[in-house]
Structure 1
Amino acid sequence: MSRRTVVIAGAGLAGATTAVELRERGFEGRILLLGAEEHHPYIRPPLSKEYLKGEADIDAAYVKPGEWYSEHDVEFLPGTEAGSFDPGAHELFVAGGGRLTYDSLVLATGASARPLSVPGSGHGAVLQLRTIEDSQRLYAALEVGGRRIVVVGSGWIGMEVAAAARGFGNEVTVVGRSAVPLSAAIGRGPGAVFERLHTDHGVAFRNGDHVVAVEGATREQHAAEVVLASGERLHADLVVAGVGAAPNTRIGERSGLSVQNGLLTDKAMRTSAEDVYAVGDVANPFLPAIGRHLRNEHWANAIAGGTVAARAILGERASYDDIPYFYSDQYDLGMEFSGYAPLMADARVVYRGDVEARAFIAFWLRGDRVVGGMNVNVWDVQDDIQRLIRDGDRIDEQRLTDESVDLAAV
């Protein structure tokens, strides 16, 4: 094992986690970490949370200090993008004509922000949020305050951007296709809690509508009119597109991998090609706990997948057993969520605590089993929530929702 070479294509959190785990678990071979960007690996949550709100420096987003990579003999190659690979020859081809021979290849190519894709979306007033540079540009625009901001998309990124923008005193309108913000992620009831939160902080919503064009001023003026399908025109100094992300599967498509909403892997993050793994946003791993594949784009998934892939490369028995998890901070509301989205689609939601006061736990029940849980301004309960999901035991709903019953005893 000590003479083997592991090439990691993609230097986000998933790729970096794979490299870190390999070294911490005693791998002494060569590790090459290829990054399409010039930055050392960083995590994305601060870009829409702490940094964007002006609460933390951008350095807090980096996975490890820059010197860690050289100190641990991880060859970091910034500005290097993988194009395809030859699974038989175990060769990776990179942009510019180079090639690297590998014993194990880890694809951590991540995802890209979906473009707004309407006439005028190339206007200079239209920004998106995916990279450090995106966040820096957006922060510089928001911190001025007093601007008219139109956020396109009422998912997690859109809602976090809206909260940051209001924090700097900007006028914010959120345009979303769904009738209730976040309904695709957590359903209409819990989503309505976040809508009321934002409304209480002065955000206006245009639900059930969508943008058909961005018109108006010149690029130099950085102001525009956002045209909605309903015919309404919204004046905007800045438009932020938060309409989702798509996995970067091109390398898999070019190289003959099985691709279905990402690069398909088994429970150990192995793709359909020998000695090739996929981790992070681009991977669609098989989860034994639910008996199906599930791709998700949250930071905890990047850590879990990278850890599993490293263990598998080292010959250990490895399986993706982590329950999907994410968190969000908006105004004075903090939340954590764990659960399996496919099982939540037809589940009913019950509450423990005070929903109106925004201090509660929401549980998604499929039959009488917990398949998801979200704690809002209630802390130190995630272990219990994940235990309930993982055990899959029949639950007494009355005890589950009764605050006088210790959740650890449910």
Structure 2
Amino acid sequence: MSHFVVIGAGQAGSSLVAKLRAEAFEGRITLIGAETAPPYQRPPLSKAYLLGEMEKARLFLRPEAWYGEHDIDLRLGVTADALDKGAKTVTLSDGETLAYDRLALCTGAHPRRLPAAIGGDLAGVFTMRDLADADTLAPEMVEGRRLLVVGGGYIGLEAAAVAAKRGLQVTVVEQAERILQRVAAPETSAFFRDLHRRHGVEIREGVGLDRLLGESRVTGARLSDGTEIACDFAIVGVGVAPGTGLAEPAGLALDNGIRCDIHCRTSDESIWLAGDCASLLWTDMRIRLESVGNAIDMAENAALNMLGRGVEYRPRPWFWSDQFDTKLQIAGLNAGWDAVHVRPGTGPEQQSHWYYRGDKLIAVDAMNDSRAYMIGKRLIEAGKSPDPARASDPTTELKALLA
């Protein structure tokens, strides 16, 4: 009987094993998860869950009993420490060695941490990535306390929004010239800068962190311009690194993540990928897609190809972020844009930003405008590019752009 092993019990791993069973695979399936909780959804952690608006049980993608009911051996609280692709075995942290016929790596990504030399190891310094992070951070979120957020990307801004809603004094420090600089146009940065400031969040842009201050616990920070900020705790959101710790010593090809082909297969013919750890092909470039949508779609595609279907994976990038009462929905990838056209909405907190590379529409940022997002997504997937003047004209019916 064939044995399929899946390393990583997150959104991708859970989706992959579910797809295998849905496709009537009757062999053995083992799903390895480092955390003690069954597979759960991560996006609500830094939003509804941290706000206390979602119970832990609602995070779980499926009841834990579901795995047993579908004859899936779910191993929780154990890590895969070594991969021998020649012998086709995985050694676990509990000492067991599993032999596999086919293997899937869904090892995700891990938050980058500040060096100990600048105070990154002080108590009261947190990252926001998994359930344990959220549970550890929740007691710190007390009204009136002072929070320092290092990094003005989406994770940092989402955490800042939650803290501000809970009555904390929040300062965001971003080393780049503007928040969201790596992932969005200046127009989108300006929208969210204004949103946060209207909710009392102080945003410091173009200034780096020199070091965190404190003896054993963080009490403040000294910035690169010499100023000092007092804080009661800090959240670090300075990006993530793909989970290559198992793949690299095993000799799998890497390329800003674990490299795979259009069938989600690694450089080893018996090993597939899905999720944030994967370096995949998209149009004429190699990218990593850190999104729930990609984790699910890629996992299901990988499952089909582990069964020998030979189905090419064509990513359809989409993302979202919730901050205060604003829902940002992003269609496409804005890599290489050279013009952004703003389409006003019906109010100051509703608008959409249309990214063009030459005369080609490549992405849309939609703030509280789900219709603009859906139309933009359909246009991009169909390879259609409306005239920018029409796309940004609020008197032009959005649906008419599809014609």
Answer yes or no: same fold by TM over 0.5.
yes
- Amino acid across the alignment from 1:324: P
Question: C-alpha offsets along residues 41-69 of structure 1, whole Å, 9 cap, x if unaligned?
Answer: 11210111111122211222211111111
Matched, 1:361 2:352: yes
- The equivalent residue for 1:230 is 225
Matched AA of 1:400? A
CA distance in 2, matches of 1:83, 1:65: 27
**Which position in structure 2 is the counterpart of 1:131?**
130
Cα offset for 1:191? 0.8
Superimposed CA distance per residue, residues 103-162 of structure 1 (whole angstroms, 9 cap, x where no aligned partner): 1100011111100124222111211111111111212211x2100110000000100000
Structure 2 residue runs of 5 or longer lacking an equivalent are: none
Question: Aligned to 1:372, which of 363, 366, 371?
Answer: 363
Query: What is the aligned partner in structure 1 of residue 375 from structure 2?
Result: 384
Q: Does 1:185 align with 2:183?
A: yes
Q: Tell me if structure 2 keeps the 8 A contact 1:87–1:274.
A: no
- SS for the counterpart of 2:246 is helix
Letter in 2 for 1:275: S
Q: Give the drift of 1:34.
A: 0.3
Rounded to whole Å, the distance in 2 between the matches of 1:33 and 1:400 is: 46
Query: How far, CA to CA, are the matches of 2:119 and 2:367 in structure 1?
Result: 38
Letter in 1 for 2:121: G
Task: Kindly report which structure 2 residues correspond to 1:175-254, keeping only aligned pairs within 5 A, or say none.
Answer: 175-216=173-214, 218-219=216-217, 223-254=218-249
Q: Indicate the residue corresponding to 1:313 in structure 2.
A: 306
Mapped contact 1:33–1:76 kept (Cα < 8 A): yes
Whole-angstrom distance in 1 between the partners of 2:393 and 2:289:
32
- What are the within-5 Å matches in structure 2 for residues 327-346 of structure 1? 327-342=320-335, 345-346=336-337
What amino acid is aligned across from residue 370 of structure 1 in structure 2? L
1:286 alignment partner, one of 273, 281, 287: 281
Letter in 2 for 1:133: A
Kindly indicate whether the alpha-carbon contact (under 8 Å) linking 1:323 and 1:340 is maintained by their aligned counterparts in 2.
no
Matched residue of 2:196: which SS?
Answer: helix
Task: Supply the AA of the counterpart residue of 2:313.
Answer: Y
Whether the aligned pair in 1 keeps the contact of 2:188 and 2:365 (CA below 8 Å) is no
SS in 2 for 1:183: coil
Cα drift, residue 394 of structure 1 = 4.0
1:184 match: secondary structure? coil
Q: Which whole-Å CA distance do the structure 1 matches of 2:262 and 2:372 have between them?
A: 27
Offset at residue 296 of structure 1 (A): 1.9
Q: Aligned partners of 1:180 and 1:356: how far apart in 2?
A: 24
Query: Secondary structure at 1:75's aligned position in 2?
Result: strand
Deviations 1:301-334, CA, capped at 9 Å, x for gaps: 2111111101111222322223211111111111
CA distance in 2, matches of 1:386, 1:197: 25
Aligned mates of 1:291, 1:106 — CA distance in 2: 25
Counterpart of 1:185 in 2: which secondary structure? coil
Identity, % of aligned pairs?
A: 35
Structure 1 stretch 351-360 or stretch 95-104: which is displaced more? 351-360
Q: Which runs of 5+ in 1 are unaligned?
A: none
Alpha-carbon contact 2:110-2:240 (below 8 Å) kept: yes
2:122·2:214 contact (CA, 8 Å) conserved in 1? no
d(CA) in 1 for partners of 2:182, 2:12: 25
Q: Which residue of 2 aligns with 1:304?
A: 297
Report the more deviating stretch, 156-165 or 75-84: 75-84
1:84 maps to amino acid: A
Q: Distance in 2 between matches of 1:130 and 1:178?
A: 22
Distance in 2 of aligned mates of 1:229 and 1:355: 41
Aligned counterpart, 2:269: 274
> Aligned equivalents of 1:163 and 1:383: distance in 2?
25
**Cα distance in structure 1, aligned partners of 2:296 and 2:42:** 12
Quote the offset at 1:404 in angstroms: 3.0
Question: Do the aligned partners of residues 355 and 374 (structure 1) sit closer, same or farther apart at CA in structure 2, a change above 3 Å counting?
Answer: farther
Instruction: Identify which of 326, 336, 349 aligns with 2:319.
Output: 326
- AA partner of residue 296 (structure 1): L
Specify the SS of the correspondent of 2:194: helix
RMSD, matched Cα: 1.6
Quick one: structure 1 residues 145 and 402, their matched pair in 2 at CA, closer, same or farther if it must change by over 3 Å? same
Matched, 1:98 2:96: yes
Structure 2 counterpart of 1:8: 6
Q: What secondary structure is seen at the aligned counterpart in 2 of 1:280?
A: coil
1:85, distance to aligned residue in structure 2 (A) = 2.1
Counterpart residue number, 2:171: 173
Name the aligned partner's letter for residue 308 of structure 2. Answer: G
Q: Which residue of 1 aligns with 2:108?
A: 110
Q: CA deviation at 1:217?
A: 5.0
Match for 2:136: what amino acid? R
Please state whether the residue corresponding to 2:229 is helix, strand or coil. Answer: strand
Q: Secondary structure of the residue that 2:50 maps to in structure 1?
A: coil
